[in-house]
Amino acid sequence: MGKRITILIVSIIVASVTTIDLQAQETNAIRTVSGIVTTFR
């Protein structure tokens, strides 16, 4: 469980670095969180 949270944080950081557009950053973060939530279910 701890590893998945770390992967989530890394994914958001990578998405933020790769994407300059702020709206796209938010979308990527929301998608990543949704993916993790789906995984936990």
**pLDDT value, residue 12:** 82
**pLDDT value, residue 40:** 74
Q: What is the pTM of this model?
A: 0.38
**pLDDT value, residue 5:** 87
Secondary structure of residue 41 in the 3-state scheme: coil
- Chain position carrying tokens 């950053």: 25
d(CA 24, CA 39): 22
Distance of CA 34 to the CA centre of its chain: 8
Q: Is there a contact between 36 and 8 (Cβ–Cβ < 8 Å)?
A: yes
**pLDDT value, residue 32:** 85
d(CA 41, CA 33): 13
**pLDDT value, residue 10:** 86
Each residue's pLDDT, cut to its tens digit, for the chain (41 residues) gives 688 889 888 888 877 766 556 667 678 788 888 887 887 76
